[in-house]
Every structure is written in structure tokens, then in C-alpha cells.
Structure 1
């Protein structure tokens, strides 16, 4: 089947198998920040944005993104670099394996929620697993990042 989409602001038209998962399509198209973790939509390593909504690529058929904007961490570099500094300052980047999915989720959250409190942040990030931390450092880094965004004129929403 033929699909047409925008991947990190690059227009693509590709022939795909109807059962191709978005995770495999993205990795085949050099988006290596999108990782295979659980293949059951439980770990968040494959998180991407589809039309600015957080989506798990391991459980999304590529055919479902036909005509849509798909953004991976590679397409979010300026925001991701800024966010990474806040996470690193709080020690939330220990091994770094979960960082790409976590950062895409956080950036997606800033586009969807306005002034989230701790409970809303925890709920939004519930599907992102990190084996190195107890998430306290993540929460501190995220809150500092949100304060920074507010001081710059507000969140992305």
C-alpha cells in the first residue's frame, strides 16, 4: 500500500506492507531515537508525536499515519537539547536509554497541558519506564523546564 506523510518535516511517499508497525518504519527511515523495548506499549521507548499527540510506535500501524505529521526526537532537537539540560541538572539522565521516549512525551505534554501539577505530570508520564531512577529527579527536571517555558512566554500549547 502507498502512504504519504511528513516525517520530521520531510515529505515522504512510500510503499509499505499493510501490517508494518510504525516503529519499524521509523527505524528503516533512520529515526534511531525510536527504540524497541517491550513491543507491548508499556515502556515508552518508542514514543513519537503524530499530529502533536503522543503515540507509541510499537503499537501503531504505519498505515494509520498516512497523511499525518510524525515527529521523532530527531525532529525536536532545539527543544530536546534545552529539556535535556534540565533533566541532566537534576541527575535524571543516568544511563540515558529511556531519555528519547521520555523527552518526546514531555514535549508532547507541554503542547497538550497548560500548567500541569505534579499529579498531572506523573499521570502523563505513567507509560515511560526508567530502570535507573525513582523518578524524583525526572520530576524535578520537568518542573524546572516548565518554569523555564513559562518564563519564556508560556508553553507550546
Structure 2
């Protein structure tokens, strides 16, 4: 009989973490339920909305589609973590009213900082393209683009 629980060692927001998880547990559920990091939101749980976006080894992923056991030895950064441009992006989102109900905001901020780091904020069209995996049920898209454009212009 195969073991159903696995020990996973990873880094979460710069801190070493060891978790004992079931083989099918998603990174999203491990972060929320095992680590108490509830900033990463569970939206659709199907990889379509982007609310659960985190950085995995510096690259954005939707954590509902990544198994926790796949993160062995890797670095995960959530919205609770400290990462470049986070405060700039958060402040710009507030100035531009780009966070209305807040359900998508953590994922939007993670994607926005990643696309800025990737150098993919050259135009509004480019920002829209590379933020297209993050849905906003309030329709704050023009405000989100404006916030990212402001930070990119610095």
C-alpha cells in the first residue's frame, strides 16, 4: 500500500517550512490550511480566475493547479511575503481604486509585480494581455491597468 502522506520541505516567504501533506493536496490548500496564509484566495479552484496566484521560484503560478508535493525544495512567495515592488503596486492599486471587493486583489498584486519584473508592462495592451489570467468580478480592469502603468513608469 502506498503512503498517502508525504513530507515536503520548501521555503515559504523566505522561511523554511516542513509540512506533512496528502499526495493530492494543492499548494493553495496547503498554504491556507496548513500554513494559515489566507491572503492567497480560493476563487474558482480550476485555474481560471487567478485569485490564488503565487510566485513559485519567482514565476507566477495559480496555486490551485500545483500539488504541494511538487514544491519540494522550491521557494513559494505569497501576498503576505516581502518581495520587490509589492508596496509600490499595493499603493498604486489603492490610489487608482483597483481593489474594490478585494476577492481578486492578492492574485492581481502577485501577477502585477511579476509582470513588472518580467518587463511586460510596456503598454496598456501588453499589461492587459499579461494580466488576462486574473479575473475581477467588479470590473476594475481600467483601474488595475492604470495602477500598473503608474508603477511601470517609475
Same fold, TM-score > 0.5, yes or no = yes
Instruction: Flag structure 1 segments of 5+ consecutive residues without an equivalent.
Output: 149-157
Give 1:91's aligned residue: 97
Q: Distance in 1 between matches of 2:121 and 2:53?
A: 22
2:71 pairs with 1:65: yes
Relative to the length of structure 2, the TM-score reads: 0.89
Instruction: Tell whether the 8 Å contact from 1:83 to 1:145 is kept in structure 2 after alignment.
Output: yes
> Secondary structure in 2 aligned to 1:15?
strand
Instruction: Tell whether the 8 Å contact from 1:52 to 1:111 is kept in structure 2 after alignment.
Output: no
Give 2:28's aligned residue: 23
Give 1:6's aligned residue: 11
Relative to the length of structure 1, the TM-score reads: 0.87
Alignment of 1:46-61 (within 5 A): 46-61=52-67
Instruction: Flag structure 2 segments of 5+ consecutive residues without an equivalent.
Output: 1-5
Give 1:122's aligned residue: 128
Give 1:153's aligned residue: none
TM-fit CA distance, 1:125: 0.6
